[in-house]
Amino acid sequence: MKKLVVAAALAAAFGSAHAQQAVKIGMPLTLSGQFADAANQMLNGARTYMKMHGDTVAGRKIELITKDVGGPAPDVAKRLSQELVVRDNVDILAGYVLTPNAMAGGDVSAEAKKFMVVMNAATSVVITKSPYMIRTSVTLPQVMETFGTWAATKGAIKQSYTMVTDYGPGHDSENAFQTAFKAAGGTIVGSVRFPVANPDFSAFVQRAKDLGPESIFIFIPGGAQPAALGKAFAERGIDKKKTRVLGSGETTAEAALKSMGDTALDIITAWHYDYMSSNPLNQKFVKEYQAVSNGRNPDFFSIGGYDGMHAIYETLKKTNGKTDAEAMIAAAKGLKWESPRGPMMIDPDTRDVVQNVYIRRVQKVNNELVNVVFDTIPMVKDPAGERRKKK
Amino acid sequence: MASASSIASTHFHAKVRWHPLEIVFWLCTLLPFVLTPSYLSLASQIAITALFALSLDLILGYAGIVSLGHAAFFGVGAYTAGLLAKHYWSEPLSGLVIAAVAAGVVGYALSHIVVRFRHLALIMLTMGFGLLLHEAANSASALTGGADGLQGFRVPAVLSFKFDMFGRSAYAYSLAVLFLCFLAARRIIHSPFGLALRGIRENALRMPAIGAPSRAHLRKAYTIAAVMAGIAGALLTHTTSTVSLETLSFGRSADVLVILILGGAGRLYGGIIGAVIYMVARDQFSGINPQYWYFWIGLLLVMVVMFLPNGILGGISALYKKSK
Amino acid sequence: MLSSAVGVLFDGFAYGMLLFLLSVGLSVTLGMMNFVNLAHCSFAMVGGYATFHLMTRLGWPFLATLPMAFLAGALISIVLERTLYRHLYRASDLDQCLLTIGIVFISVAAYAWFYTTEQQSIRVPDWLQGAQHVGGMTFANYRMFLVVVGLAITALLILFLEKTRFGARIRAAVDNQRMARGLGIDVDRAFMFTFALGGGLAGLGGALSIQVVGLDPTFALAYLVYVLIVVAVGGLGSIGGSFAAAVVLGISDMAGKYYFPWLGAFLIYLVMVALLMWRPAGLFGKR
């Protein structure tokens, strides 16, 4: 009896794959709470792509159905993903800002056999949850290990003191950076973890200053924290020529730079996207994005959404509009394209994102603070994924 | 004397008899299987939240202990169930029992501190313990998975009914456990112990004078509530095969408090009604307006308070009394 | 060693001033009227966004926006008090909780609608940025400003309550409502005024905190926990209590992060639990 119901549901979902029927994309997002801005930026990125490339692919209309998960709540994310499949009959699951939600969504993608596009969640192991999943954002080891290796080699930095936020992504970044830095010959002189809801960094920065390390590596999530940290640096008088400050891209995101002002100068970051990039495709993207988002600039959440839609469109073109998960994942593997962030690929083995990692320094260009790229490590694969392959 | 005790026993029996509306209500909980089969996952989570709210009602509505940290026990139950499953013990029913015991132990321990305080200090202490436990779970990420949640486990089925994306087994399981716990709660409320609790709530100073040991009773109630909350948490783990820090969060403690007040505390069904209304409203508002649904929920809360004092059940009972 | 201790004390004290400004209004209204106003941080958010709007959209200088932030907070409290809160003074604590949480949800949604969920920041004047370095210690300019403002407001509040007639009426209404009414004091007016004062101070606190913690619509919920901690630890209805609690919490938070960073977020909750178990009515509580 159960098999009949499942078969009927699946048949209803894509049995009638007439060219006229819309392709429904279900997106569980964190539209309320702490991560609301990330979700809104991602959604705007997806909508910008649809505006620039039309909302029809392979003769079928594209329809987005968004749901609010509210925050890191895998039980809710799982239920919403299930409801999108069972109630709304979506063909594709997409979005997923946070790792626990993406993991839960992966379970549903595997059980219901639905193509899934992770547009943000950055923990490496997420990709293993479903054989029908691809990722178009970034993985933390991809950036942080690369950064660690770069710092100890080309960056000519011998010591580092790491300061990260005390939660999953913080631990992952700390681990990734430290391992790679040490492997490339560097020494970690100490480390500290900030509590997650930490409004005031001055005590931590003072501790770092007292140690006087050659460099400080930071990982903190976006939002209010990067600016607060930058101010703490300025107040304590950390001379960035003597103590190099290394951070993830979120540390020098738009809001952070605006708030830190000149105290941000000379911070070195490693990241996969900056909205000020002079890449002509990016400049076009930014203009279109501003129109869709009522004047806001895109950030890495936006580009994850944008490229996620691109992957969906290109895959649909390859499968001629068929949304059968097996066909879609086969078409998505190895997909290569030029994104506003630079060249990108979906790894044919791991289905994860492969992209350039840019090393940037904050400088003043035309009286504006810009993350200026001065080194690029091309087409980096997720090292944690590569290690999983070897096992 | 004999007549007094017989009056007492008939009084008790009269209360314990089932009101026809109650029977209708419980029969209606079976409707989702037939009427709305694509909403069974939501129904399952409503049943779990209802159980959690019921457990809070035992201490808040009946014993007068306002707790802003009740999610601590929910989370302990959830993580216990998850950790058991991760270490190859994925049979849910026994897992439920073990999780209940774990939550009960934590509840018993905390009850010794909690019952010594009242008013704002009590509220803040319960909140503080909840926050501390949440932080501890975040720090112990090697054990709990931290912010990413506990990974690498699955609870495939209960009594060979598979947990799948349609949620049928999930709802059946949650509903059955909810009903059993509800029966237990009902028994407790109508027992001498339950009456003593209500007496303590009304006037804590007088109760020892008539022979009811206040603090011991409160500790017992707090522990029972912890056990029930732990069961609810374990149910969530079993039916979704996920556990995250959110189960221990202040947000969850605050939500369940709002739900209980909305439904009406101290009326046994308040938590269940509140859970149904709040979660269905949230689901519907969020479907219509995913970005700003909480505006409408806020409005709903304000309207309920302005027009239905003492929660929905309180308002209904007031209307009923007026119409008599 | 000593210089870092002084630094930690100073930073903690400044952080405490911010917490004090955000919390003192709630302590007074909760203690005086027994009204559980969980929407208190929404008033702070109103003040914060008032400053943001005036500075970024209308180009006002920072200091000029501060009185406006106070007024914004005060106005919104009066409006809410007259329309909704007044009807619930006799209601149960739980009902008051529900109402005010509903208002918080509405306020968060409203501000997300008008200003988006984007993290906002402001550019304070140059003399408030940077720091003074004295003998190996660092004193951030903005923190010194917070300390000055915090102490000034405390002094003004105490002067007002102790030395003016209106202040005396308010103190009477707090101590014994019935007696105060019996003496012909317009208790309702005193309530409304106190509510406005508390809301205004919250608004000012919200505006001042943008530079330290940023601003977005979730502010109304994010700082509620800290404010409740200060109010509970300080004792309801006591300005001195809020001051002491805010300072203790601010300093222990800073000291914890500097000397015991692995304790992280635990410390502030441990301190709260310890202080409440020792003094359940708060440091200077009345009951």
Q: Which residues of B touch C222 (CB under 8 A)?
A: none
Task: Give the span between the Cα atoms of A122 and A97, in whole angstroms.
Answer: 9
Q: Rounded to the nearest 5°, which phi and psi values hold at A239? A: -85, 110
Under a CB-based contact definition with an 8 Å cutoff, are residues A344 and A279 in contact? no
Mean per-residue pLDDT, A298-316: 96
Chain B: list its partners (3+ Cβ pairs within 8 Å).
Answer: A, C
A97: its two tokens: 């800002």
Report residue A61 as tokens.
Answer: 């209309």
Alpha-carbon separation of residue A297 from A42, A51, B232 (angstroms): 12, 16, 44
CB contact under 8 A, B295 and C110: yes
d(CA A157, CA A353): 28
Which tens digits make up the pLDDT trace of B154-182? 888 888 888 888 889 999 999 999 999 99
Lowest mean pLDDT among A120-124, A154-158, A252-256, A356-360: A252-256
Question: CA–CA separation, A27 vs C172, rounded Å?
Answer: 58
Are B236 and B78 within 8 A, CB to CB?
A: yes
R_g of chain A computed on alpha carbons: 21
Q: What is the pLDDT of residue C266?
A: 85
Do A235 and C131 make contact, defined as CB atoms within 8 angstroms? Answer: yes
The backbone torsions φ and ψ at residue A186, rounded to the nearest 5 degrees and listed phi first, read -90, 170
Chain A interface, mutation test: which of B244, B250, B282, B296, most A Cβ atoms within 10 Å? B244
Q: How confident is the model at residue B8 (pLDDT cuts 50, 70, 90)?
A: low
Q: What is the third-level CATH fold of A2-138+278-351?
A: Rossmann fold (3.40.50)
Q: Which amino acid is at B121?
A: A
Flag if B244 and A5 touch (Cβ within 8 Å).
no
The model's confidence at residue A15, banded by pLDDT at 50, 70 and 90, is very low
Cα–Cα distance for residue pair B53/B75, rounded to 1 Å? 14
Q: How far apart are CA B234 and CA A374, in angstroms?
A: 52
Nearest CA-CA partner of A70 in B240, B282, B130, B235: B282
List, in sequence order, every residue forming a beta bridge with C43; answer none if it has no partner.
none
Q: B5 pLDDT band (50/70/90 cuts)? A: low
Least CB–CB distance from A210: residue in C4, C117, C130: C4
| HSE value, Cβ hemisphere, 13 Å, CA-based, for A179 | 15
C71 interfaces chain B, CB cutoff of 8 Å: no
Mean pLDDT estimate for chain A: 90
The pLDDT tens digits for B68-87 are 999 999 999 999 999 999 99
| Residue B91 DSSP label | -
Residues in CB range of A384: below 8 A, 6 or more apart: A124, A125, A139, A141, A176
Phi, psi torsion values for A356, nearest 5 degrees: -75, 145
Summarised one tens digit per residue, pLDDT across range A183-234 is: 999 999 999 988 877 777 888 888 888 888 999 999 988 777 887 887 788 7
Q: What b/e sequence results for B36-53 when a residue is b if at least 16 CB atoms lie within 10 Å of its CB, and e otherwise?
A: ebbbbbbbbbbbbbbbbb
Contact A72 B293 (CB under 8 A): no
pLDDT of residue A349: 93
**Interface contact flag, B147 A66, Cβ < 8 Å:** no
Structure tokens at C167: 């202040």
* pLDDT for res C27: 86
- Compare CB distances from C276 to B124, B258, B262 and report the shortest one's residue: B124
A→B interface, C-beta within 8 Å: 2, 5-6, 29, 31-32, 36, 40, 66-68, 71-76, 78-79, 82-83, 85-87, 99-100, 103-104, 107-108, 111-112, 123, 125, 166-169, 171, 195-196
Q: Please report which helix (H) or strand (E) contains residue A224, including its range.
A: none
Where b means 16+ CB within 10 Å and e means fewer, B79-97 reads: bbbbbbbbeeebbbeebbe
Report the pLDDT value the prediction gives residue A240, as an integer from 0 to 100: 78
Closest CA of chain B from C227, distance in Å: 11
* CA dist list (Å): B61 to A303, B13, B64, C91, C198: 50, 22, 6, 16, 31
Residue A193 touches partner C, C-beta closer than 8 Å:
yes
Give first-to-last CA distance, chain A, whole Å.
40
Task: Tell me whether strands A342-346 and A353-365 are parallel, antiparallel or unpaired.
Answer: antiparallel
Which helix (DSSP H) or strand (DSSP E) does residue B297 occupy?
helix B293-307
Asked whether the beta carbons of residue A87 and residue B45 sit closer than 8 angstroms, the reply is no
Residue B243 with chain A: CB contacts under 8 Å? 74
**What residues does A219 pair with on adjacent strands?**
A164
Per DSSP bridges, beta strands A92-95 and A115-118 are: parallel
**Spatial separation of the C-alpha atoms in residues C193 and C25, rounded to whole Å:** 11
C93-117: string of b/e by CB count within 10 Å (b at 16+)?
ebbbbbbbbbbbbbbbbbbbeeebb
CATH 3.30.70 fits B35-289, yes or no: no
Put simply, the answer to whether B240 touches A75 (Cβ < 8 Å) is yes
Residues in chain A: 391
* Matching CATH number, A141-271+356-390, of 3.20.20.140, 3.40.50.2300, 3.30.70.3270, 3.40.30.10: 3.40.50.2300
Other beta carbons within 10 Å of B101: 14
Give the pairing type, strands A353-365 and A268-271.
antiparallel
Residue ranges per structural domain of chain B: 35-289
- For residue A373, what are its two tokens? 């790229």
Structure tokens at A4: 């009949």
- Pairwise CA distance, residues A109 & A103, whole Å: 10
Q: Which of A325, A281, A323 is nearest to A303 (CA)?
A: A281
β-pairing, A368-380 vs C137-140, is unpaired
Q: Which residue has the tokens 């939660």?
A: A167
- Taking only the tens place, the pLDDT of each residue in B188-219 is 988 888 888 888 777 666 666 666 567 888 99
Chain C contacts of B71, Cβ < 8 Å?
none
Task: Give the pair of three-digit tokens for residue B233.
Answer: 């948490």
Please give the average pLDDT of every successive group of 10 residues along chain C, which has 287 residues.
79 91 87 84 95 93 94 95 87 88 94 88 85 81 92 89 81 76 81 88 93 86 90 87 92 86 83 92 75
Q: Do A200 and C253 touch (CB under 8 A)?
A: yes
- Chain B residues within an 8 Å CB radius of C91: 305, 309
Task: Give the chains touching C; criterion: ≥3 Cβ pairs < 8 Å.
Answer: A, B
Please report where in the chains the tokens 């039916």 appear, as a residue.
B239
- Are A223 and C15 an interchain contact pair (Cβ–Cβ within 8 Å)? no
B294 vs C108: CB contact, 8 Å cut-off?
A: yes
Q: Which residues belong to CATH 3.40.50.2300 in chain A?
A: 2-138+278-351, 141-271+356-390
**In this predicted structure, which of A158-162, B301-305, C85-89, C133-137 has the lowest mean pLDDT?**
C133-137
Q: At what angle do helices B270-288 and B293-307 cross, to 10 degrees?
A: 140
In three state form, how does the secondary structure of chain C look?
CHHHHHHHHHHHHHHHHHHHHHHHHHHHHHHHHCCCCCCHHHHHHHHHHHHHHHHHCCCCCHHHHHHHHHHHHHHHHHHHHHHCHHHHCCCCHHHHHHHHHHHHHHHHHHHHHHHCCCCECCCCCHHHCCEEEECCEEEEHHHHHHHHHHHHHHHHHHHHHHHCHHHHHHHHHHHCHHHHHHCCCCHHHHHHHHHHHHHHHHHHHHHHHHHHHCECCCHHHHCHHHHHHHHHHHCCCCHHHHHHHHHHHHHHHHHHHHHCHHHCCHHHHHHHHHHHHHCCCCCCCCC
- Collect all residues of chain A within an 8 Å Cβ-Cβ radius of residue C7: 206
Indicate yes or no: CB of C95 within 8 angstroms of CB of B262: no
pLDDT for residue B14: 45
Reported ipTM: the value is 0.88
| Cα separation, A314 vs A312, whole angstroms | 6
pLDDT at B4 over 70: no
Note whether C218 contacts A196, CB cutoff 8 Å.
no
Lowest mean pLDDT among A108-112, A308-312, C139-143: C139-143
Nearest to A259 among C8, C121, C261 (CB): C121
**What is the longest distance spanned by two Cα atoms in chain B?**
65
Quick check: B146 and A87 CB within 8 A? no
Say whether B128 and C236 touch across the interface (CB within 8 A): no
Q: What are phi and psi of A303, to 5 degrees?
A: -70, -30
pLDDT category at A16 given cuts 50, 70, 90 is very low
Nearest residue of chain B to residue A121 (CA atoms):
B148
Q: What is the pLDDT of residues C230-243, one digit of tens each?
A: 999 998 878 888 99
Which are the contacts of A136, defined by CB distance < 8 A and separation ≥ 6?
A117, A118, A119, A304, A307, A308, A310, A311, A344, A346, A353
- Amino acid letter, B255: D
Signed CA dihedral, A150, A155, A156, A160: sign only: negative
Query: What distance in Å separates the CA atoms of residue B134 and residue A298, rounded to the nearest whole number?
Result: 34
Q: Which of A342, A361, A380 is nearest to A155 (CA)?
A: A361
Of residues C37, C90, C79, the one with CA closest to residue B309: C90
Q: Which of A68, A193, A294 to mutate to test the interface with B (most CBs of B within 10 A)?
A: A68
Query: Which has the closest alpha carbon to A223: B243, B275, C217?
Result: C217
> CB distance C138–A237 less than 8 Å?
yes
Residue type, C20: F
A283 inside 8 A of chain C by CB: no
Nearest to C169 by CA among C192, C187, C196: C187
